[in-house]
Every structure is written in structure tokens, then in C-alpha cells.
Structure 1
Amino acid sequence: MQLKPVARTALTVISALLMATGPAFSAQAATGTFVYDRVDGTHGAITNPVNGVCYDFDSPAFGADNQTDTDAVLFDTYGCSGVSQPLPKRTGEQWGTYRAESVTFG
């Protein structure tokens, strides 16, 4: 079965539009490193995190240093739920009783 010229032209235009807009739908990553301070005194790090992805810490954290170019939101439970704590880009903070267990960017 052959496509008619109008259908072929429409498919070509649609394909070109998808190729041009495809990168706009891809995941963006923050640039930099996010360091969190574990309750045992050691540190964990996430480098160039993907925006919109939830990162669970391997241990609760009492502070963090967001040296990425994207704002972060920390959560007091795994899976990026519970009480949230914003941490703007290029800032750090330590908390009194708050313990973060996960973070998302963007």
C-alpha cells in the first residue's frame, strides 16, 4: 500500500515536529553536588541529580549542602513524602530536630 502525497507530507511534518520537540521532553539534570550530613557524622553525596526524581538517603540526615544550580526539597520520610523542607540552590542548612530521609530537585 502506498501513501498518497498529502499523507506522506503530513507524516513528514509530524516526524520533523517530534524530532524538534523531543529534547524538550527529556529529563533535565541539576549541575553540581548535593551533600547530606548523616546522623552518624558521615556524609553522603548526590552528583548531578535528575530533576523530579526522588532520592532516598541511606541514613537520615540532620543537614545538607545544596551546591547544585537547582532548588531542592527535602522530606522527613523515604519516598519524598511527609514534612518538607526547602533548600534553595547554592545554600546549606542544619536542622535541630528535623531529619531528612529523601530529596527531590527542580
Structure 2
Amino acid sequence: MYRHKRLARLSLVAGSAVMLVTGVSTSAQAATGTFTYNRADTGFLRTMLNPPDEECIVMPGGGGVVNNITDTVATVFRDEGCSVPQDTLYPGNSGAYGGADVPHSVYFGQL
């Protein structure tokens, strides 16, 4: 009986080790390229290099002129929580926004 418990524990430890090695090796995907925007509040240029996919990214100050020079579709949102979509920028596209209609967050990837 003791031998079976020991074998079960050994199998569990070996399986966990395999999962740790193979499970951790996967990396998050990122859009390749740059995403730039001029802050609507200051006009300063902000640049994101290879931004992560499938994450809501806040754009401090809001985006006046936005350039998607990545290989991924970027959706800009009016709020900071990516819940009120404003515009979809395909790779290579730009957008200009002003007043109360500036985007405050961006999401890379398909929604």
C-alpha cells in the first residue's frame, strides 16, 4: 500500500515538473511595430513599441493624432476601460480626434 502512495506522489511531482517547464515557455503575443499618439492635453508624442495583444492599454492625456504602425488591428476607446469603442485603426492607418471625442485607451487584436 505504501509503495502505491509513493508511486502516485512521484508521478504527481514528475507531471507537475513537466507542466512547469512546458507551460511557462509560452509567451504573450504582441503587435509588431509602433503605435504613436500625440497627447491631446499636452501635444507631446507618446510611443508604444510592440504593444501587447488582447490588453486594454490606457493612453494618458488622450490621443489627438493616433498612428497604428503595427501589424495588428487597434481599436481606440473613449474611456480608459476599453468599454466605449470609438474607432478601428487597421495596420498603417491613422486617426485625428479633438475636443471631448479623444480616445483614452487602445486594444490590439480582434474584439
Task: State the TM-score, normalizing by the size of structure 2.
Answer: 0.70
Counting only pairs closer than 5 Å after superposition, residues 1-106 of structure 1 correspond to structure 2 as 26-39=27-40, 40-97=42-99, 98-106=101-109
**How much has 1:63 moved relative to structure 2?**
2.0
CA distance in 1, matches of 2:107, 2:23: 25
Aligned-pair identity in percent equals 33
Between the two proteins, the alignment pairs up a number of residues equal to: 105
Task: State the TM-score, normalizing by the size of structure 1.
Answer: 0.73
CA distance in 2, matches of 1:96, 1:38: 11
**How much has 1:64 moved relative to structure 2?**
0.3
Q: Which amino acid aligns with 2:49?
A: T
Question: CA RMSD of the aligned region, Å?
Answer: 2.8
